[in-house]
Structure formats: structure tokens, C-alpha cells
Structure 1
Amino acid sequence: MPHAIELFDTTLRDGTQGEHVSLSARDKLRIARRLDAFGIDLIEGGWPGSNPKDQAFFEQARDVAWRHARLCAFGSTRRVQFAPEDDPNLAAMLAAGTPVVSIFGKSWTLHAEVALGVSRDENLDLIASSVAYLKAQGKHVVYDAEHFFDGYADDPAYALATLEAAAEAGADVLVLCDTNGGTLPQAVYEVVREVCTRFDRPVGIHAHNDGGCAVANTLMAVQAGARHVQGTIGGIGERCGNADLCAVIPGLQLKLGYDCVAPAQLRGLTELAHFVQEVANLDPVDRAPYVGRSAFAHKGGVHVSAVMKEPRAYEHLEPETIGNRRRVLVSDLSGRSNVRYKAAELGLKLTEAEAALAVRRIKELEHHGYEFEGAEASFELLLRAVQGEAVSFFELERLRVRSDIQDVDRVERSSRVSSSEALPAGSCTEATIVVRVGGRRELAVAEGTGPVDALSNALRQVLAGCFPSLERVRLSDYKVRVVNPEEGTGAAVRVLVEHRDDTRSWVTVGVSSNILDASWRALADGIRYYLWLVHPAEASPSRAAVEPAPA
């Protein structure tokens, strides 16, 4: 039988100490529910004595029927001037009403004597009396030995004495913390193995990532005998973060054979990671191991060719086991295997000649600054153009954009002199386009909150009579990147435009040394793509939908 691992999640406590991370009590409750559903055993909700948000979370959490997880309140050993029953920190932990408490104490003489200003014996008493008091109140006590590895390196006998003080007082779990995050895996293994031989209760690991080894240190600790694992979703946390449970859990379960969660729950790992990032308002980390968008993305043609024959050739496990998926990217590094794979995803079957032509076109376009990894709608238009399918619907004859920008400072000065003569501050952008639709020449003029919005409004105004379904389409995102900044004002720009309707979104790309031209290319292809989806029979013969930008 595989050894069972107790999973302790500290996303809601240590995770919130990371830069740019802030969670409301409601956010914490939402994340805690998902952690519970995933199969986390212990959820550290926060430090109830430190701030109102954590207290509010514990109050709200009392009304939740947790299916699997037990909640844990966090705090420190008592202050030297208080008896345990009078200590405000211990009282706040008890008031949180959780069945489990996590309490940290000093393992390093440096911290005991300098940070706390107590003697070594006094520090041992702080640990023992605090743990004993919490146990007397009926709590399951997780003792976090802060800075244990640094303390052990400095004075092994004293570091072990702090664990003995906690164990003799009744601590249920002894957690060894690499608080500064600088210990290397081999040292972690040796220290954890030594501790496990000395104590008759579960030993845990709490690793920080300052040396880039938090996940490795956690895996080594378990192999040395630890059975309690602490970490955060996405590795968020103080400084460089904590051990990332999204890498630790599959590493333990799929690589080393330990029992962490049910296989069905493990398949929800990627979704859990993305949920936490969304609630915490953090940008997704595409390169994150296991759960990142790029974790199973293949770009090189040799890689894709091999993966199509046998995924194990370039994948260390099946992405579906942790809820991720394989992605094949197309770029100037692509071969025909990449293009055929992506075409099959889109329901297209290319001949060898069409695949070769598509690869040639991609390399030419990317040389001019195009990039199709984030613009799959443009890529599909390119493939259909290669196959000779008409995807035009309309042709641009000319466009003009005019912006009237008022001098806000002048207007404000004028307002102070004579409000009756002042003009409203702001700007007005107007776009004029002439296009050919179904053999007819159409002209439209529209205003917008900027050049691209004005162009979008003018184009949809022209097309609305022929394609009423465009009413459901909206411009949802617009990104610009300079392709070759060394060219200064003559540099080419790459524009990505995202459109949405009621059920889907799609992204198109345009490149030019003229930002309006690049924006029009991306914008027009976004509309062409939608019209092809809903009105394929009405497409008119035309040139290829995507052309190289001018040199």
C-alpha cells in the first residue's frame, strides 16, 4: 500500500504574504471550498489575531459544512510576559473555533536570543507551555519549527531540543520549516531523516523557494520520511514564495507513488490552479510545471512530429491526468507536423502540398513580425486561404481616421476666466471607410472612443444591413507590441484584437509599420472570421485573408 500524505494548504495565510496578493474574507472562503473539494486535508485560514479579514473569514467558515478538510488557525507561541491562559495570540487562535491550530516557535538560537530576546531555556518553555495549553483546550496541534534547517546547521542539539519540547507537550505534528528558503535538497533529506528517527509522531515539511528548491526540498523530505506536506497553490507566498502544491502533489503521486488525493480529484488540479489565480487577480503563469498553459505546448517541428507518433517522446506524463491538455504551436520554427496537427484540431485536412505551402507562408509572415501562437483565428484564415477557400466578404478601398484633441489645460484655464466661453474637455475620434461588399461600394462614417473603436463601429455600420448577426459581436481586447524597437518611429507593430459574441471569443493579428494599418488588418480579419463561421456561403472570392506586412 502506498504511504498516505497529509496535505496542508497555506495559500490563505502564507500565500497572502506574497507581493501583489490580497484576498478578502469572501475570496478566502471561495478558495477554501475549492481546496476542500479537491481533497486538501488541512486548510490554514490565516492568523486570527493579526487582522480583521482573517477573523471575518473564520467567523464565516463556521457555517460551512466541510466535506473533507479541517480548518486551521495560525499563530505564534505565547509572549514571554504572558501566561498561556492570558496570552492574546493564543486566545485569538482558540476564538477562531477551528479543530486544528498551527503554532510556530523559534528553532534557531539567533532568533531566540536576538529576535525574541530570551534565553535558550526560556524559549523552550515558551514552546512547551504554549503547545500544552492548546492541547488542553482539545486542539490538534501542528507545531511549525521556524528556521529549523538554519538552526540545525548552527546548533543541531538545540534545534532538536526545541522539537523535543513541542513533542513532550503533546504536539501532533512536528513541521520542519526552511523559512529562509536557502537549504539545498540533499541537506533537507539528511536532516529530515535524522529527525524522523528520533520522534514517534508525524514529521512535516514547510519549504520556501528562495533558492529555487522548494518543490525539490519537499519531495526529498517526503522520501526521507516526512508525511505532512505544506505549500500553496501556485507557490505564492513571502518573498520568492512557498513550495507549489500544484507541482508537489503530482510529483508525489504520479512520480513517487504516494497517496495524496483520488485520481478523479487530481484531474481537477489545473482547474484549481487557474481558479486561485483568478480569485487572487494574478496573471496566469504559462510556464508553471504541470498546470501551466505551456506545460504541454510543443513548438519545434521535430518535437511535434514525434509527439504525434508517441506523446511520451516529449511529455513526461499524460496531461489529462492533472486536467491539462496538449497544445501545438505554429511559428517560424514549425514544420508540416505542427500545421497538420493544428489543422486537424480545426477540422481541416491538408494535403502535403497545402501543408508545405502553409509552412512557407507562416515563415514569411513571421519574418515580417506576425505571430500566430496567440491568434488562432488568423491561423485558421491562413489555412483556409491556402486551401483556396474564400473568406473575404468585403474589401477595403480606403480609410481615414481623424482625432480632434482639445487642450485640456487651456480649457481649464478658460473655465477659470469665463465659464460661459469654455469648451468641454476631451477628444473626438472619427473614422471614414470605403469598402466593397457584394459588388457594391459602401461608405460609412462613425465615431468611437479611439481610432480602433471608431474603425470597428464604421465597419459594422457598413455590414449591418447584410449581416444582422454582427449585433452580437463586440470588440473585447486590443494589444499592441513593437516588433523591432531599434527602428524607432519606423518600427513595425503587431496588433492583437479579440472579438467576442455570446458564446465564444477569437483573436486575430495584424502587422505593419503603420499602427492604423496593423489595427485594420487585425480588426477586419476578426470580422471576416466571424462571418465565415455564421455565413460561410456568402463569402466572396478574394485574395488571401492574411498578407505580409510591407517591408
Structure 2
Amino acid sequence: MTRRKITLFDTTLRDGQQTPGVSFSLEDKLAVMALLDRLGVDYIEGGYPGGNPTDTALFAEERKCKATFTAFGMTKRAGRSVSNDAGLQTLLQAKAKAICFVGKSWDYQVRVALGCTNEENLESITDSVKAAKDAGKEVLVDCEHFFDGYKANPEYALACAKAAYDAGARWVVLCETNGGSMPHEVREIVTAVAKVIPGSHLGVHAHNDTEQAVANSLAAVEAGVCQIQGTLNGIGERCGNANLISIIGTLGLKPHYAKQFEISAKVSELTTISRAFDELLNRAPNAQAPYVGKSAFATKAGIHASALAKDPETYEHVKPESVGNRRAILVSDQAGKSNLIAELERIGLAVKKDDTRLDHLLREVKEREAIGYAYDGADASFELLARRTLGSLPHYFDVLSFQVNVGLRDGNMYSEASVKVKVGDEVMISAGEGNGPVSALDVALRKDLGKYQKHIEDMGLVDFKVRILNGSTSAITRVMIESKDSTGRRWFTVGVSPNIVEASFQALLDAMVFKLLQEGVAA
């Protein structure tokens, strides 16, 4: 059976940039292009030349990438010739191998948004495609609002798509712009369109307003389209776009699709690319993201862990390593010995099932979680607890005391901290300032750790989360801290106390000790 090639078109740099809070510099765009090339998508849509200085600069010169570099823009305006439309001329002059035009395909949008006649809109689509073809460009046309347009006036929506195809567009892309259609509707409409335009020239562009963007994209593929448009991690305006990470994982690994369709993307790179992109955006990765999330192959219940130890397929739909991820057996108050043994093996601690220390560790975990600790989200703190209990954690230093002062000085809030530590026979006192008490403690604690100082200089605080576990005046506070170092390694630690500063300090201490442990430093 010959598999049908599904072409992957990435619009992270254009449609994805419409995500609130996301703004790419030129350097950012080039970095994302490198990630996309590594992933192996077929098209990279860079943006809107002439629309802003960054995109104009991006298209001012040839960009070396394996994918087809694509510019985006509108079809010519009604009432103007091709030569007199400045926006179209900018597109034609852009240093891109392909142009993706956006054209209206819903008569309501033509009337309200464009303010022209249906015939003028068809003329704009035809003339724009021909002009780009004459300029030697590969041409795509995004038929905006196609599915809503088809439901309202199928004859006109089809006429718009047909105009693009007849004028020479390589791809006619059916856009589910408002994100409101259901998979059965997408399947029915694409099936009808494929009777007029060959599926080998059809694409789909779905938005995620009903959490159906991936499902709608797959429904369109099953109905005949051969191109899917989407973004890394599903970013995009409103609720986002179709998530190419999930689509690639599904097309590449699920037998129903893998037997029928072929993709060029590297499935094994999904986790690396997804997390590297989040790092570029300076945001924490979604732990529950399908395929690539930290929790995607994590199990917490003891009975599940026991089954996983016997056969991973009992609770895994694909192998974690197939997408570059890993299995995680979480340790919590729901844990059994299977969880502990699996997690201890992962961190390099071999313990026999009848070892009495294992019972002590399990009891310790459950008692600590009962007062607020959460080790399923703080793997570094769990490893330290396990090594202390099993007697394999080096003793690096002692904290003799610490102090934090917060106040108002010259109209500005200030935070100062001092920490007294003992390393071997040496006692050191360090002070620091920060934009809050935790920041000041972090600065002071990491200012001077004697012989260990060089091993902690590249670590830093990435994220800080506080949760009040009860609402009384003696509320218990849980602090979760995420740290990272120059290698890109990230780790999570937890502290619990009625005092938020003490809870924070516990988590900070664990973060530092874990860093020394990972560096292989001897006590």
C-alpha cells in the first residue's frame, strides 16, 4: 500500500505570533526556523513582509533553510491593478520561494470586511495568484473562513477555492478561522471540496476555539487533504492553532494514520523541539502536553506503577522514547513500593523489595505529604529525601542561621537577607539584596559557599509558586521552586512551613544541594 504524503506547513512565526504576550525579534525568528528545520517541517511561514520592521528585515535577504520559506499577505485590493497594489508588490519582491495569500471565501466577510462585490473578490484571488506565479513563486491561498462560508453559501465558498486552483495555486488551504466547526462537519465539507479540487492540492488550517483543532486537521486528512497548517505547541490567537507537535506524534505513531500517511518530520525530536521552543518563549512547558509533557508518561497510583513495571503498555499508548520523552513513576501519598522502586532505579539507587529502608522511606513520604509536601511535582526534593533515608547523600554544609528584612526606604520597598553557613571547619556570613525576600535569600545563600562556590555559580531561579494549603490563621504554605543551570537542566524542589520564608528557604536549600549532587561533588 502506497502511503499518502502529508505536507506540514508551520505558521508559528506568523499566526503563532498573534498569541498575547508573544513577540519575536529577528533573532528569535531565525532561532525558531532552525528548530523547525531540525524537526523537518516542509514549509515555514515567516511572516508578513511590509507589515512590521522585523518581518520586512526577515524577508530582505535569502534565508537558508531546508523547508520552503514562505511569505504571507493579502490578495490585491479590489479596484486596484496588480502593479498599483503596494502590499502585493512587497510580497512579490520578498526573498521567499513561496507566497501564501489570504483570501476571503465567505460572502458575508467579503461584504462586511472587504466592502466589495463577490465578483471583485474572485478577481482579486485570480489576479494575485497569477502575478505570483509570473514572478516565479510557489503559491498558496488560505481561504479564510472557508467552513463558515461553505455552511452559509457553499457555491460561493467553492468558487473562491476554485478560482485559486484554476489560477495556478499549488495549495488551496481550507481555513477553519473561527474554530467553531466540529470534526464531522470538517470531514463532510472537505469530502465535497475534494470532488472539485484534487486532495493533492488541498490543505487545512484549523483554530482551537473548541479544542478541536487537531481533531479537525486529522478529519480533513482522512477526507483527502494533503497539507496541514499549524504551530509549535499550538500557540496562536485566542485559543491557539492546531498543535503540530500533537499532529506529528499522531500521524507518525498511531497505526491507523502511520499505515496510510507519510510525513517528513522527525517524531523522535518532538520533546526536544517543544521544550526548546518554550524556553525561547521564556515560559514553563505544559506538563500535561500530549506526547511531550513532563506528565505525559507519568503515573502516580501504586497499582498503575506495579502494572507498568510488568509491562509499560498497560498504561502507555506509545513508547515515551519514541517522541524523545521518558517514563516517570511519581512518588506521592498514593504511592506503593512499585512507585518507589521504579523511581529509585531511575535515579541510580538499587534497593531490594524486602529492604526495610524502603518501608521507612515510603512511610516518610506519606507522612510528609500529609502535612503538605508534594513530591510528584518536586523530583529533586524526593531524590534528596531518598538518599538521606538510604544513607547515600553527601553532607556538604550546614546552615547555622538566616535572617530576612523587608521594609520601606526612601519611598521604595527593599528586601535584605543574611545567611550564616558552615562548610567543613569554615564559617561564612553572606548578605544579599533582592526584589523580594526569597530573591534576597537566594542571592545571599549563593554568594559564598566556600569550596563549592564554583559549582553553583551557573544555577538560577526560574519559577516560584506559592500555595496556601488551608485558610486559617495558622495556614500551611507550600513553596515549589524550579531551578536551572547553564546546561539547560531543570529541577524542582519543595518546602512546607507555616512561614512562607522558611518554606522558601527549604526549597532553595534543596535546589542548591541537588545541584552539587548532580555535579558529582564530593563532600
Per the normalisation by structure 1, the TM-score is: 0.84
- Structural mapping, 1:187-226, within 5 Å: 187-200=185-198, 202-226=201-225
Letter in 1 for 2:189: V
Contact kept? 1:358, 1:386, Cα under 8 Å: yes
Contact kept? 1:482, 1:494, Cα under 8 Å: yes
Q: State the SS of the aligned residue for 1:166.
A: helix
Match of 2:468 among 464, 480, 483: 483
Contact kept? 1:430, 1:445, Cα under 8 Å: no
Task: Report the counterpart of residue 403 of structure 2 in structure 1.
Answer: 401
Task: Report the counterpart of residue 55 of structure 1 in structure 2.
Answer: 56
Task: Report the counterpart of residue 32 of structure 1 in structure 2.
Answer: 33
Larger radius of gyration: 1
Change (3 A) 1:188 1:254: same
The alpha-carbon deviation at position 224 of structure 1 amounts to 0.5
Task: Report the counterpart of residue 99 of structure 1 in structure 2.
Answer: 97
Q: State the SS of the aligned residue for 2:272.
A: helix
Letter in 2 for 1:308: A
- Structural mapping, 1:65-464, within 5 Å: 65-66=64-65, 68-200=66-198, 202-255=201-254, 256-257=257-258, 258-261=261-264, 265-351=266-352, 352=354, 353-389=356-392, 392=395, 399=401, 401=403, 403=405, 405=407, 407-409=409-411, 429=416, 431=418, 433=420, 445-449=429-433, 464=450
Structure 1, 70-79 or 267-276: larger mean CA deviation: 267-276
Q: State the SS of the aligned residue for 1:59.
A: coil
Structure-1 separation of matches of 2:512 and 2:165 = 68
Structure-1 separation of matches of 2:111 and 2:3 = 42
Contact kept? 2:460, 2:485, Cα under 8 Å: no
Structure-2 separation of matches of 1:47 and 1:463 = 51
Change (3 A) 1:73 1:354: same
Contact kept? 1:152, 1:159, Cα under 8 Å: yes
1:492 equivalent in alignment to 2:464: no
Structure-1 separation of matches of 2:31 and 2:302 = 42
Change (3 A) 1:331 1:99: same
Letter in 2 for 1:209: N
Structure-2 separation of matches of 1:173 and 1:535 = 55
Q: State the SS of the aligned residue for 1:487.
A: coil
CA displacement 1:360-380 (0-9 Å, x = unmatched): 211110111112234333322
Contact kept? 1:444, 1:459, Cα under 8 Å: no
Letter in 2 for 1:192: V
Task: Report the counterpart of residue 472 of structure 1 in structure 2.
Answer: 455
Q: State the SS of the aligned residue for 1:11.
A: coil
CA displacement 1:13-41 (0-9 Å, x = unmatched): 11111111110122112211221232211
Letter in 1 for 2:216: N
Contact kept? 1:446, 1:455, Cα under 8 Å: no
Contact kept? 1:375, 1:506, Cα under 8 Å: yes
Contact kept? 2:42, 2:264, Cα under 8 Å: no
Letter in 1 for 2:467: V
Structure-2 separation of matches of 1:459 and 1:17 = 40
Structure-1 separation of matches of 2:111 and 2:520 = 77
Letter in 1 for 2:139: V
Contact kept? 2:446, 2:456, Cα under 8 Å: no
Structure-1 separation of matches of 2:140 and 2:175 = 12
Structure-2 separation of matches of 1:407 and 1:116 = 58
Contact kept? 1:399, 1:434, Cα under 8 Å: yes
Q: State the SS of the aligned residue for 1:373.
A: helix
Change (3 A) 1:379 1:124: same
Change (3 A) 1:432 1:89: closer
Structure 1, 468-477 or 278-287: larger mean CA deviation: 468-477
Contact kept? 2:9, 2:228, Cα under 8 Å: yes
Structure-1 separation of matches of 2:443 and 2:203 = 60
Change (3 A) 1:380 1:93: same
Structure-1 separation of matches of 2:153 and 2:499 = 66
The alpha-carbon deviation at position 526 of structure 1 amounts to 4.8
Task: Report the counterpart of residue 548 of structure 1 in structure 2.
Answer: none
Q: How many percent of aligned residue pairs carry the same amino acid?
A: 42
Change (3 A) 1:356 1:138: same
Unaligned stretches of 5+ residues in structure 1? 410-424, 539-551
Structure-2 separation of matches of 1:36 and 1:522 = 39
The alpha-carbon deviation at position 100 of structure 1 amounts to 1.0
The alpha-carbon deviation at position 429 of structure 1 amounts to 3.5
Structure-1 separation of matches of 2:13 and 2:521 = 50
The alpha-carbon deviation at position 386 of structure 1 amounts to 2.9
Q: State the SS of the aligned residue for 2:365.
A: helix
Structure-2 separation of matches of 1:289 and 1:228 = 22
Change (3 A) 1:237 1:525: closer
Structure-2 separation of matches of 1:128 and 1:536 = 68
The alpha-carbon deviation at position 452 of structure 1 amounts to 5.6
Contact kept? 1:219, 1:251, Cα under 8 Å: no
Change (3 A) 1:514 1:392: farther
The alpha-carbon deviation at position 82 of structure 1 amounts to 0.9
CA displacement 1:171-200 (0-9 Å, x = unmatched): 221111101110000010011111112123
Letter in 1 for 2:50: G
Contact kept? 2:201, 2:226, Cα under 8 Å: yes
Unaligned stretches of 5+ residues in structure 2? none
Letter in 1 for 2:478: R
Q: State the SS of the aligned residue for 1:12.
A: coil
Task: Report the counterpart of residue 23 of structure 1 in structure 2.
Answer: 24
Letter in 2 for 1:408: D
Structure-1 separation of matches of 2:271 and 2:216 = 22
Change (3 A) 1:126 1:308: same
Contact kept? 1:47, 1:73, Cα under 8 Å: yes
Contact kept? 1:492, 1:513, Cα under 8 Å: yes
Change (3 A) 1:407 1:49: closer
Change (3 A) 1:27 1:393: closer
Per the normalisation by structure 2, the TM-score is: 0.89
Change (3 A) 1:344 1:228: same
Structure-1 separation of matches of 2:419 and 2:166 = 82
The count of aligned residue pairs is 510
CA displacement 1:303-350 (0-9 Å, x = unmatched): 211112111111111121221111222111211111111110121122
Structure-2 separation of matches of 1:22 and 1:140 = 28
Change (3 A) 1:198 1:368: same
Letter in 1 for 2:468: V
Change (3 A) 1:225 1:384: same
